A and B are shown apart, each in its own frame.
Chain A
Amino acid sequence: MNQERHILLLFPHPDDETFSAAGTVMMHKKKHGTKVTVASLTLGEMGRNWGNPPVANRETLPLVRREEMANASEVMGVDEIRHLGYRDKTLEFEELDTVAAHLKEVIMDVNPSLVITFYPGLSIHPDHDATGAAVVEAMKRIPENERPKLHTKAIDARSVEEIGEPDIEYDIGDWMDRKLEAIAAHESQMQEVTAITKQKLAEGDEDTEAWIRYEQFWIYEL
């Protein structure tokens, strides 16, 4: 594991950061005292999971999810949380230029040694792909000698076929309990965990915890 000075997680919805990289940030923190900033582009305002029974409605969901993200961040030992003020489901319709300029400012301000986001085009949800694309564009605008590294998470089933095996895979086994605790902090979204587990079973995946345990990233060459 490379030593990182500061990791910036750039994701569209509260909980993406936890599912994607909770173990990674906790391991870096423990081993190297890495500083961690989490930035969420939206508050997941349009999520259709509200808990069962519901703990939110369409209007209170963003407030609930902001709180949940704060709780999950505490479990992960995140140093700083930023909310970037976009609205769920609208990212792909914003001007790429505007979002990229904004994200460049955020990256320059946080000044991380590593940025983690979604791999554009292989991340299933339009907000995921739009976030990845805007981060890539923002990174291109940072002079090469000041540019942090970029690691991306691809989640589409075609990922390996399209871009090869992941460059990095962390087995976060020792941190599973803490990661599950961080996931559980996203209380309104727990139906999603159940749905993914079901999907894995339907796909014939017997190790239903593998997607939580092995955090995989592709190094993005700009």
Chain B
Amino acid sequence: MKNIQADAVQTALNTFKGQQIYVHFELTNGAYAAYRHGKFQASGGFVRNARVNVLHGKISGDDPFRVGLKTEDGWIFAEGLTAFEEKANESLYLYGLDEQGKLSVALQLSTVPFEEGVDTT
């Protein structure tokens, strides 16, 4: 995992242009948010293996970054992105990690489906 380099991310986003891809998207402020901060509630959510047809994608901002994907049926947007990982011509993982290294946002794009679980045998 590396700090986001906008050029590298933009190049990876371009490879999804015109393709159907799988998306894992999540936001979280931690399951213990209410416990740790009184009334402030745990908020978050995830979507795993949503399929979208990408028209184009762009990265914007300057650490933290924003990414927007225009899709055939709508939009995907994420902000607060700081780190990334990529597998050439297959996947791009974008994450927002806070000062303690805790995840707050994840946007993973892939041409192949994400695993539902792992083999536990």
Q: Which residues of A come within 8 Å of B, CB atoms? A: 43, 45-46, 48-54, 57-59, 62-63, 66, 83-85, 87, 89, 124-126, 157, 191, 194-195, 199
- Tell which of B28, B35, B101 touches A54, judged by Cβ atoms closer than 8 Å: B101
Q: Are A125 and B1 in contact (CB-based, < 8 A)?
A: no
Smallest CB–CB gap between A9 and chain B, Å?
Answer: 17
Nearest first, the 8 A-B pairs at minimum CB distance are A52-B101, A83-B120, A48-B103, A62-B118, A85-B120, A125-B31, A54-B1, A48-B102
Smallest CB–CB gap between B110 and chain A, Å?
Answer: 9
CB neighbours of A66 from chain B (8 A): 118, 120
Q: Which residues of B come within 8 Å of A, CB atoms? A: 1, 24, 26, 28, 30-32, 35-36, 46, 83, 85, 93, 95, 97, 100-104, 106, 108, 114-118, 120
Expressed in whole angstroms, the Cα–Cα distance for A45 and B24 within the complex equals 13
Smallest CB–CB gap between B20 and chain A, Å?
Answer: 20
Q: Are A43 and B95 in contact (CB-based, < 8 A)?
A: no
Q: Are B104 and A58 in contact (CB-based, < 8 A)?
A: no
Q: Are A87 and B31 in contact (CB-based, < 8 A)?
A: no
Smallest CB–CB gap between B8 and chain A, Å?
Answer: 16
CB neighbours of B36 from chain A (8 A): 195, 199
Would A49 and B1 be within 8 Å (CB), given that A63-B118, A124-B32 are in contact? no
Expressed in whole angstroms, the Cα–Cα distance for A58 and B92 within the complex equals 12
Would A124 and B97 be within 8 Å (CB), given that A43-B118, A48-B30, A57-B85 are in contact? no
CB neighbours of B83 from chain A (8 A): 54
CB neighbours of A83 from chain B (8 A): 120
Q: Are A87 and B104 in contact (CB-based, < 8 A)?
A: no
Q: Are B101 and A43 in contact (CB-based, < 8 A)?
A: no
Q: Are A125 and B118 in contact (CB-based, < 8 A)?
A: no
**Which residue of chain A is the closest to B91 with respect to CB atoms?**
A59
Q: Are B114 and A50 in contact (CB-based, < 8 A)?
A: no
Listed by A's residue number, 18 A-B pairs whose Cβ atoms lie within 8 Å are A45-B117, A46-B26, A46-B28, A52-B100, A53-B1, A54-B83, A54-B97, A54-B101, A58-B95, A58-B103, A59-B114, A62-B117, A125-B32, A191-B100, A191-B101, A195-B36, A195-B100, A199-B36
